[in-house]
Amino acid sequence: MSNADTPVQAVILVSCPDQPGIVAKLAGALHEVGGNILDASQHTDVSSRTFLQRIHVSWPHDSPEPEAVQEAIDETAAEFEMTWRIRWQQSPRRVAIFVSRQDHCLHDLLLLQRDGALQCRIPLIISNHKDLEEVADRFGVPFHHVPVQGSVDEDAEAGQISLLSAHDIDLVVLARYMRVLSPKFISQYESRIINIHHSFLPAFAGGRPYHQAHVKGVKLVGATAHYATAELDAGPIIEQGVIRVSHRDSVTDMERKGSDIERTVLARAVRWHLEDRIVVHDGRAIVFD
């Protein structure tokens, strides 16, 4: 997996019924296979009595045998009725960005990835319009125009899924992609589609949220990054942000102020997903520090 001079790292996410001794047993199991815990965060959901943990592990002197790590954790998992997964951090994950006509979130993601702040590869951008092809060209990312006749366009989705499969995509980011995806599409990438909605959910779900906010005379507008689910704008919330507005602000003013929140909220959510900091439990996104 690596040579002796290159540290091998992995992130392990675990979930099991809460009980004493879990942390010690996991630490011991990793120690037995030469693992060094760099950091660990845990959370206990009291209502369901569920223990959740994220463990960042390093093997600084030699490459571990994945089978040995698997066996060591499986033994502990069996004892505690634990579900778990591990991601070895050898290669960045592959991210596809879906866009329509607005470019602020796209620009931010491409800049962060170019500068190394997002540890991923972006093999393609997919859009239902051609407006942002020039942006993709400037960053050297292949741009694919897939016309969409309306939300839940089966023919368009078949083409999109074919592109995602061909590029072995791990994560789909809806960076102000103004179309609804079908439940069939979403089920193929469960907890792997991040959407940015331009309101502080659950307020003003659906279309034209800034117009809805203006009518209500709200004093705060916001943005919400969440995992996409079959129910529109109702998936597990990863991150949110707000900014103050007043009665003097028009809808255009709100949109301008909100765009700054949208890009930062989306970027944080994408980064946390790439760093394996998120566990979805009982419909909620648990985000580890």
Block means of pLDDT (10 residues each) for the chain, 289 residues, are 67 96 96 93 96 94 83 95 92 95 97 96 97 97 94 91 97 95 95 95 89 93 95 94 94 92 97 97 95
How many other C-beta atoms lie within 10 A of the C-beta of residue 50? 17
Helices 251-274 and 104-114, axial angle in degrees (round to 10): 30
Active site (annotated) includes residue 233: yes
Q: Where in the chain is the domain with CATH 3.40.50.170?
A: 93-287
Given 108, 153, 170, 233, the catalytic residue: 233
Q: Token pair of 269, please?
A: 């959510």
Q: Are 38 and 57 in contact (CB under 8 A)?
A: yes
pLDDT in tens, 240-259: 999 999 999 999 999 999 99
pLDDT in tens, 114-167: 999 999 999 999 999 999 999 999 999 999 999 998 778 899 999 999 999 999
The domain at 93-287 falls in which architecture? 3-Layer(aba) Sandwich (3.40)
Q: ω before 202 within 30° of 0 (cis)? A: yes
Nearest to 133 by CA among 155, 156, 159, 101: 101
Amino acid in position 185: F
List of residues 6+ apart from 179 with CB closer than 8 A: 100, 128, 148, 150, 151, 153
Q: Where in the chain is the domain with CATH 3.30.70.260?
A: 8-88
Q: Token pair of 254, please?
A: 């709100």
CATH node for 8-88: 3.30.70.260
**Per-residue pLDDT, 191:** 95
